[in-house]
Amino acid sequence: MKKKLITSILTLTSLLLSSQEKTSYQIPKKELLELIDVELAPSVIKDSKNENFILLYRDAYKSISELSQEELRIAGLRVNPSKHIGSRTTYYKNIKVLKLSKSKEPSQLQGLPPNPKLSNFSISPDESKIALTNTTNKGVELWIADLKTLMTKRIYGPNINATLGNPITWLKNNSELLIKTIPNNRKALIDRNSIVPTGPTITENEGQKAQNRTYQDLIKNPDDAFNFTQLSLSDIIKINLEGREKRFLQSKMYRSVSVSPNGDLVMVSFIKKPFSYLVPYYRFPTEYRVYNVNGDVVKVIQDSPLSEELPKGRMSTTTEPRNIGWRNDLGASLYFFKALDKGDPENKVEYRDALYQWDYPFKGYPKLLLKVNNRLSNVIWGNKNIAIVNDTWWNNRNVKTYLFNPSNTSKKALIIEDRNYQDIYSDPGNFLMKNGKYNTKVLDIKNNNAFLIGSGFTEKGQFPFIDKLNLEKIFKERL
């Protein structure tokens, strides 16, 4: 009996030990794997002449090593803190180029690194090259692909800073770029898991009442604020295609970099303190400056304060200028949107938003171009006499499309679409664009006609279409 008991105990112990044995991830059977792990169709970047199609290939699923990498959630960002790039970035593993004039089969881009993690693709103004980043175990590198020779090469890295988005901006000479890099004096991040708190975190509202949305991944304490600063700080350097570099702008928390259509000016935006524990980074104080190509300040365009408090409602917005950008059909003119209703959707006003233009050298006051009924969402520039804007209103799901003359503000804008944006059957499609005088996207206008390409969803099925819109008579003809 005793021997049987001992035998039973040994058997049970053996089973328990075997059940705790470490096992690796298992690959499913071939039939199931072929069903799940299907080769994805490539993403496509094409040039304006539809001659070169850049085909980007990626895996259907991220690897275990990618999913297990460190992620820091801070100020509304999700970042890989050791590599200074978004932790949810989509990476591509291969690039091919299809030249329609020469072949029906794509050609392999040569010289790519082994097991690449490619992202942040940016085509040059003359569309002869593509800049891209490759993320390695050491950080983020800058690579250049020549679409004529189909060769690639690394020209910088691995200390590019992609924490706040795309770090690459081409200059108009097609031989130099501006890139955001990690400063040499960047301090080590604070590991919150290895320190003992010395006191409570205190926030104060100063007796004010305000509605605010609930945001994820905010700054929660001074250590988070320190880490956000270190991750966001960048130098902007100018680098040529041979890798020769020089500093363009000193360290700041740069968000965006854009070059004027004529190539003479560079506008940057950067975050400033104080930070907030209530809202994400894109509502922190932000300053916009314009520089010349030598890095000298031309004008401080806008200095927006911290935006913690907004009126109630989904369509509430800041009273500061927003959506600041270059007008694509002119050499060096900025435009921006501004609320006319104090940003409060409850205010009853005839016009809620206005579109302004400010020409270089940015003296005097910006010029009012247009007032619209709802919130401006985007603008399409055509030429000095033709432009198109959209406004939206969430409460009734309305979207309007206006045709207006930027050179004649006394001429009333024409509403060419007024519809419910959830009604897919009435979707008019997207306007056809082309590269304009400055190799920037402008409305494609031929004989006073614009063109729309639509998906064509109907009750009877999908019938894609091309419409010709006469901009004088506001008459559509289906082609």
**Mean pLDDT, consecutive 10-residue segments, the chain of 479 residues?**
51 52 75 80 92 93 86 96 95 95 90 96 96 97 97 95 96 97 95 72 62 84 96 98 96 98 98 96 97 97 95 95 98 98 96 98 96 97 97 96 96 95 95 95 96 95 96 92
- Helices within 81-209 (DSSP H only): none
228 in Cβ contact with 75 (< 8 Å)? yes
189 in Cβ contact with 230 (< 8 Å)? yes
pLDDT at 63: 83
| Amino acid residing at 423 | D
Return the H-helix or E-strand segment holding 228: helix 222-232
Long-range contacts from 459-467, C-beta under 8 angstroms, 24+ separation: 459/425, 465/429, 467/428, 467/429
| Amino acid residing at 425 | Y
Return the H-helix or E-strand segment holding 401: strand 398-404
Q: How does DSSP classify residue 160?
A: B
pLDDT at 68: 86
260 in Cβ contact with 267 (< 8 Å)? yes
Give the 3-state secondary structure of residue 11: helix
130 in Cβ contact with 121 (< 8 Å)? yes
Return the H-helix or E-strand segment holding 414: strand 414-420
CA–CA dist 352, 384 (Å, integer): 25
One-letter-per-residue 3-state SS of 190-203: CCHHHCCCCCCCCC
pLDDT at 236: 98
Long-range contacts from 243-248, C-beta under 8 angstroms, 24+ separation: 243/155, 243/156, 245/156, 247/295, 248/178, 248/295
- pTM value? 0.89
Only one residue has tokens 């021997």, namely: 3
Q: How does DSSP classify residue 100?
A: T
Task: Tally the C-alpha atoms within 13 A of residue 271's C-alpha that lie toward its C-beta.
Answer: 24
Only one residue has tokens 């790039």, namely: 85
CA–CA dist 157, 108 (Å, integer): 24
Closest CA to 172 of 254, 247, 236, 266: 266
